[in-house]
Amino acid sequence: MEQQKKLSLTLELVFWVVTAIIALGVLRPISVNFTDFPFLWHNILIIVVFITYTRYTFLWRHTLLAKSYAFRFLILLGTIPLVFFMIQNMNVFQSYLDDYGYDAFMDLLKSPLSNDRKEGLLQYIRSEFVFFSIGAISAAIVLPVRMIISIWRTNNNKGV
C-alpha cells in the first residue's frame, strides 16, 4: 500500500510539472511581447483548471486523493463559484475586446511589431483565452458529476 501512495504522489507531481510546462509554453508569446498583460492571472487560472480538472475527470482513481471524501466534497462545493468566476472572467475579456478592441493591447507591447505579427499575436491571445476558458468551464461542469459517481461507487462497493 505504501508503494501505491508513492507512485500516486509521483504521478501527481509529474502531472503538476507537465501542467506548469504547458501553461508556460502557451503563455510564452504573451509574456515575451507584452509588458503588463491585464488578463495574465486569469489566463493562468483557466489553463491550470482545464488541465487539472480534465485529468481528474479521466484519471481520478490514480490520484493521491481518490479515497478522500473531504476532497471530493470540496470539489463539489468549490466548483460552483469557480464556474461562475471563470464565466465572469471570460465575459470581462470579451467585453474588454468589444469596448477597446485589440488596440488597447498595442500600448502594452514591449517592442514594435509588424502588422501581420500584431494581428497574428492578437488572434492567438483571443483564440487561446476562449479555448481554455470554454475547456475549463466544461471540465468544471463535468468533474462534479464524476465526483458524485466516485462517491456512489465508494459507498456501494464497501459491502463487496
Q: How far is CA 70 from CA 27, 65, 74, 147, 149, in A?
A: 33, 9, 6, 11, 15
Question: How many percent of the chain have pLDDT more than 70?
Answer: 98
Q: Which of 83-87, 93-97, 102-106 has the highest mean pLDDT?
A: 83-87
From the CB of residue 33, how many other CB atoms can be counted at a distance below 10 Å?
A: 19
Mean pLDDT of the 128-132 span? 95
- Residue-wise pLDDT for 43-53, tens only, equals 999 999 999 99
Break the chain into its structural domains and give their ranges.
2-156
User: Which residue intervals of 36-114 are DSSP H helices?
Assistant: 40-59, 69-100, 103-106
Q: 92 falls in which pLDDT band (50, 70, 90)?
A: very high
Higher pLDDT, 64 or 41: 41
* pTM, 2 dp: 0.88
CA distance 82 to 74: 12
Q: Which grid cell is 67?
A: 479515497
Cβ atoms within 10 Å of 10's Cβ, excluding its own: 11
